[in-house]
């Protein structure tokens, strides 16, 4: 006779609470001390658990970083932006919706992204996590360009790859960091200018 495994809701809740405490402690340490300076032992101490518990609950630092970035990568604005661009019948609205969606995904998670992403490029394991996240970002931007191609809206001679590169230049992470973080623009001002610049660079003359 097969034995049935027993699930303890209380134990599962305790495990979830422990994991949440570890992620919260890690996020604050990453922001205040920098990713490279934070050790698993520091995270464990801040979360008031053993180091082994950190590994068992969340994995190592790169795994924690991946989990912390996931809400930004899979922000609800992504799905909403995709819906808007496929419903739009005006190419300018496709660009505007993309600017709004990328703005919302960054703004909601700005404290973490602005503090962590620039410094993580120099840390190989963290850089790999960021690269995976950027691949998802590029995938979404590629869908935007494909929609513009369906509408026959791109400038003459602009192929898919170059168009994706331009959209990344104007609405990728670095664009938001450059204007909002480095130059103290408001998100409103950055969204308006970046959308306008992207429209001018990508769209055929009306």
Per-residue pLDDT of 37-63, as tens digits, reads 999 999 999 999 999 999 999 988 999
Task: Give CA–CA dist 41/54, Å, rounded.
Answer: 9
DSSP state of 155: P
Task: Give CA–CA dist 67/46, Å, rounded.
Answer: 18
User: 127-164: per-residue pLDDT in tens?
Assistant: 898 899 899 999 999 999 999 999 999 999 999 999 99
What is the average pLDDT value for the chain, to the nearest integer? 92
Residue 191 makes CB contacts below 8 A (sequence gap 6+) with 99, 100, 103
Instruction: Indicate the burial class of 7 (C-beta count within 10 angstroms; 0-12, 13-18, 19 or more).
Output: exposed
pTM for this prediction: 0.86
Q: Which residues of 68-105 are buried (b: 16+ CB within 10 A; e: fewer)?
A: bbeebbebebbeebbebbeebeebeebbbbbbbbbbbb
Two tokens, residue 121: 């490029």
- The answer to whether 117 and 33 have CB atoms below 8 angstroms apart is no
Two tokens, residue 59: 């994995």
- Grade residue 11 by pLDDT with cuts at 50, 70 and 90: confident
């Amino acid at each position: 006779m097969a034995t049935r495994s027993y699930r303890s809701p209380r134990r599962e809740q305790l495990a979830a609470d422990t994991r949440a405490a570890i992620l919260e402690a890690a996020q604050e340490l990453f922001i205040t001390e920098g990713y490279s300076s934070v050790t698993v032992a520091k995270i464990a101490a801040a979360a008031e658990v053993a180091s082994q518990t950190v590994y068992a609950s969340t994995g190592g630092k790169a795994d924690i970083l991946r989990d912390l970035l996931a809400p930004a990568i899979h922000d609800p604005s992504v799905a909403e932006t995709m819906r808007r661009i496929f419903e739009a019948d005006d190419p300018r609205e496709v660009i505007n919706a993309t600017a709004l969606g990328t703005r919302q995904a960054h703004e909601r998670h700005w404290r973490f992204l602005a503090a962590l992403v620039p410094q993580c490029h120099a840390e190989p394991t963290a850089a790999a996590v960021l690269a995976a996240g950027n691949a998802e970002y590029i995938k979404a931007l590629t869908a935007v360009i494909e929609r513009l191609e369906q509408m026959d809206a791109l400038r003459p001679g602009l192929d898919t790859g170059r168009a994706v590169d331009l959209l990344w230049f104007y609405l990728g992470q670095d664009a938001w960091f450059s204007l909002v973080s480095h130059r103290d623009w408001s998100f409103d001002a950055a969204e308006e200018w970046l959308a306008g610049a992207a429209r001018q660079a990508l769209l055929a003359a009306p």
